Amino acid sequence: MNSKLDFKSNHSSQVSVMGDLQRLLRKGEYAPFTSPPILESKFVQVNERGQPVSIHNQPSCVTIGICAVDPSSPAPDAMLVACEVPMSPQESMTNFWKLSEEPTHMEELALTRFFPLKFVELSVHCADKHHLMLKLANGHCYYLELCAPPDQQQNLFHLWLQFLPLLKPPENTCNTKADVTCKDFGKCHKKAPSPNNPPKN
């Protein structure tokens, strides 16, 4: 079966509602990633037993998007990870005084991680609980529980299952080392710099 055809088919079958990560990328702040993710979902980090991982007594939540860095690429090649980070004082005041019927949020979504798909492995950890396992090239594993409305949970998880075969890293890169140091996968204290100017280790 042609993976390119599967990829296009899965892409077209996804719900057309734009997600938070897609809206963030469309702002153009992260220049290499202006095209929207092919598949985007919110996840809660859990441990291997399925128990929620809390940071500062708060659930560790992330938004994960699978995309092609090159919009013309026939297959996905990157995983983007975003999470809520505190707004700057200026942005907080702007939102505080903005007239809106919706509640004010003092946090905003920011892109915090970028992984070439050849350096990650995504697999099913527990299908019944909608848990995925993300394994990085350095051996670290993270367990993620799909977070979606009850009426969409099953269909969305099935969509991820359809994508998993397309996200398998090439066999010749399984021993490749990558600089992916992140102790707390969903822990974000400040906004990540632009991918054009990665932080120094």
Range of 36's domain?
3-169
Q: Is 148 among the domain residues?
A: yes
Q: Is 54 among the domain residues?
A: yes
The rounded average pLDDT for each run of 10 residues, N- to C-terminus, in the chain (201 residues) is: 46 61 87 79 93 74 89 84 74 46 64 91 95 94 94 94 77 42 46 45 44
DSSP output for the chain: --HHHHHHHHHHHS--S--HHHHHHHTTSSGGG-SPPSEEEEEEEE-TTSPBPEETTEE-EEEEEEE-SSTT-SS--EEEEEEEEEPPHHHHHHHHHS--SSPP-SEEEEEEEEEEGGGEEEEEEETTTTEEEEEETTS-EEEEEEE--HHHHHHHHHHHHHHGGGGPPPGGGTT-------SSTT--SSPPPPTTSPPP-
Q: What domain count does the chain have? A: 1
What CATH number corresponds to the domain at position 147?
2.30.29.30
Q: Is 183 among the domain residues?
A: no
Q: Is 144 among the domain residues?
A: yes
Quick one: pLDDT at residue 106?
Answer: 60
- pTM, whole model, 2 decimals? 0.70
